[in-house]
Structure 1
């Protein structure tokens, strides 16, 4: 038998070759089972498959898949750990650093986010997404001035970057620069007149400018786009209350309580004609007019 195999090129596998072939098959099985599980939304099982595959062979693609599965499982520190391994293996890959920054932001790990942004900035100082992420890190650190500077650079590099324009406007509004926020609001509403976020921002700017009627109308457009936006009802109700529209304020606060039961801890029961002004006043007295 061995002679025939030798004559016709069918030599038996050595134990080492058999082990390698078996490992390769098992690796592929775990890898593709993990991909299949992730596509079906079974991320815990996907993580187990990827980890078993990595025990057989270290593979950057599998580590990337594993990081994504960890993010989907809300295991953000574990995802960052995998991404850092990828970054060490491919330090020139800016996309890995950007992903680290994004996941670190989700995890509120701002030290890791800053480090990732710095590494990405060294690779490409003209990448608008890096400037945007750096701005988010600055905002988290309470450094709004540098955040606005970073967002302005991002917009200069990519004028149609709506997220950067919106975040800059919100930051300016939080800083009390209503004029600057208004400029961004005007730009955004022209391009995205049906966006819930843009409409909400414009409503808050109008409110900060003292344009209550305009703000109320804008909040109404928000609720048309999203009838379950509790913040829109809450903030519109505050403006109605300020205008003396107790019925309108009460109606909006009831809507808030329907959408988010228990959101107004100091109010209980149905609103009635008796004592409605007192109850609505309590609901709105401590509310930030900018929704912040």
Structure 2
């Protein structure tokens, strides 16, 4: 039965292989080879909980062999269970160098997931020393360089890998992810992900990346087609259920998306992408307390994710927690990279706290750096009005009105201000623009 299962696996018929292995285990529950192979197939098909269960049974038997721990570690990694990797997956000095390197790579990824760059560097450096020509070790080093912010070095290393190993699906996906994160044209990112599928047409990660890209491009039908393909290739996959939740979210089927995510979270409660999406879904459903809980957990795990941090600050502000919102947003403030949206949010937080002077300072600095931004000029003017600086406020409102004739909030504020001053002619001028 094991030979038949291996034959089915080689043909890509994973479900048939699983049936053969289950039959083998029914006859002999102590068959370590069958159970190990079953756990490996479960991992490859995305059934992570089942993979963990089978591999744990192998380890408990005491007859595991060197690769089982590494395979179990890969299941932990896929589920985002980084601490389990560190606690349970240890290198065996008596194992061959390539097996030791594989374990060190896993530990490096585990440390990256825990934002422990010091130990991650040690792990990846050890892997490279053990297997300097190993592609997995090189990819691990590239991931570490990215975590350090050394984008150019990481890009160079990934390019080297794709040139010397054109069939390395994972490297192509990494390259596509890197292009995407740096604002490359979607078509260029798309062709890179498609190159990954050329290397492996049944690559779940490549199909997932394509689906995600199509969603950001607003091409939901194409995204759904990729998800359908993914679910045919990996019918029991955690990622497949998560991707379906993304599709439902993109189609504004928020309650359905919530059900999808509940299914994912039952199987993998620490799967951080699902936690983020569940928070966003709760936000759309105006379940602010649930949204805040999930976004807080995500930001705590990924403190450098600016997108999630800004959304969390907005939720906290909406929940009348301006001090918490300011604490959340503070790491993004006062740098050269601080964008107008972040400054505007900070000003709103200060305004809700009653600190109009601080709000006007933040907006004045941001408006100075972005003089063509009508929204910023208007928000600055409103804070100036709140502090009694009416002349400066009117000047900024008039400038905002000229910058963007379609932005009616500035015209509305001018009309109300002139009405309050009994300057009816000027008030009428701006009322007519509304």
Q: Same fold (TM over 0.5)?
A: yes
Which residue does 1:172 correspond to in 2? 350
Report how far residue 246 of structure 1 moved: 0.7
Give distance in 1, aligned partners of 2:239 and 2:336: 34
**Is 1:152–2:330 an aligned residue pair?**
yes
Contact in 2 for aligned 1:43/1:70 (Cα 8 Å): no
Instruction: Report the CA distance shift for 1:95/1:69 in structure 2 as closer, same or farther (over 3 A).
Output: closer
Contact in 1 for aligned 2:276/2:298 (Cα 8 Å): yes
Instruction: Report the CA distance shift for 1:155/1:44 in structure 2 as closer, same or farther (over 3 A).
Output: same
Give distance in 1, aligned partners of 2:342 and 2:216: 31
- Taking structure 1 as the reference length, the TM-score comes to 0.63
Gap runs ≥5 in structure 1:
1-16, 257-292
Gap runs ≥5 in structure 2:
1-12, 17-200
Give distance in 2, aligned partners of 1:122 and 1:42: 32
Give distance in 2, aligned partners of 1:49 and 1:80: 21
Deviation string for 1:164-196 (max 9, x for gaps)?
332121121133211111121122112222223
Contact in 1 for aligned 2:374/2:407 (Cα 8 Å): no
Report how far residue 94 of structure 1 moved: 4.1
> How do 1:255-274 residues align onto structure 2 when only pairs under 5 Å count?
255-256=433-434
Which residue does 2:392 correspond to in 1? 214
Contact in 1 for aligned 2:374/2:404 (Cα 8 Å): yes
Instruction: Report the CA distance shift for 1:218/1:71 in structure 2 as closer, same or farther (over 3 A).
Output: farther
Give distance in 1, aligned partners of 2:378 and 2:273: 32
SS at match of 2:406: coil
Give distance in 1, aligned partners of 2:413 and 2:348: 16
Contact in 1 for aligned 2:347/2:358 (Cα 8 Å): yes
Give distance in 2, aligned partners of 1:249 and 1:209: 21
- Taking structure 2 as the reference length, the TM-score comes to 0.45
Give distance in 2, aligned partners of 1:144 and 1:40: 34
Report how far residue 45 of structure 1 moved: 9.1
Which residue does 1:238 correspond to in 2? 416
Report how far residue 111 of structure 1 moved: 2.7
Point out which structure has higher relative CO (alpha carbons under 8 A, 6+ apart).
Answer: 1
Report how far residue 116 of structure 1 moved: 1.1
Report how far residue 49 of structure 1 moved: 8.4
Which residue does 2:311 correspond to in 1? 133
Partner of residue 297 from structure 2, selected from 106, 115, 119: 119
Deviation string for 1:37-91 (max 9, x for gaps)?
9699674796598579748813455444433332332222333443455556665
Contact in 2 for aligned 1:151/1:165 (Cα 8 Å): no
> How do 1:79-94 residues align onto structure 2 when only pairs under 5 Å count?
79-86=257-264, 94=272
Instruction: Report the CA distance shift for 1:168/1:42 in structure 2 as closer, same or farther (over 3 A).
Output: closer
Deviation string for 1:113-135 (max 9, x for gaps)?
12212322442456554443332
Give distance in 2, aligned partners of 1:95 and 1:193: 37
CA-atom RMSD in angstroms: 4.2
Give distance in 1, aligned partners of 2:216 and 2:310: 30
Q: How many residues align?
A: 239
Report how far residue 201 of structure 1 moved: 1.4
Which residue does 2:70 correspond to in 1? none
Instruction: Report the CA distance shift for 1:108/1:196 in structure 2 as closer, same or farther (over 3 A).
Output: farther
Give distance in 2, aligned partners of 1:208 and 1:39: 39
Instruction: Report the CA distance shift for 1:125/1:37 in structure 2 as closer, same or farther (over 3 A).
Output: closer
SS at match of 1:176: coil
Give distance in 2, aligned partners of 1:90 and 1:171: 35
Report how far residue 101 of structure 1 moved: 2.8
SS at match of 2:327: helix
Contact in 2 for aligned 1:129/1:154 (Cα 8 Å): no
Give distance in 2, aligned partners of 1:209 and 1:81: 48
SS at match of 1:185: helix
Give distance in 2, aligned partners of 1:191 and 1:86: 44
Report how far residue 219 of structure 1 moved: 2.1
Instruction: Report the CA distance shift for 1:98/1:185 in structure 2 as closer, same or farther (over 3 A).
Output: same
SS at match of 1:188: helix
Contact in 1 for aligned 2:412/2:431 (Cα 8 Å): yes
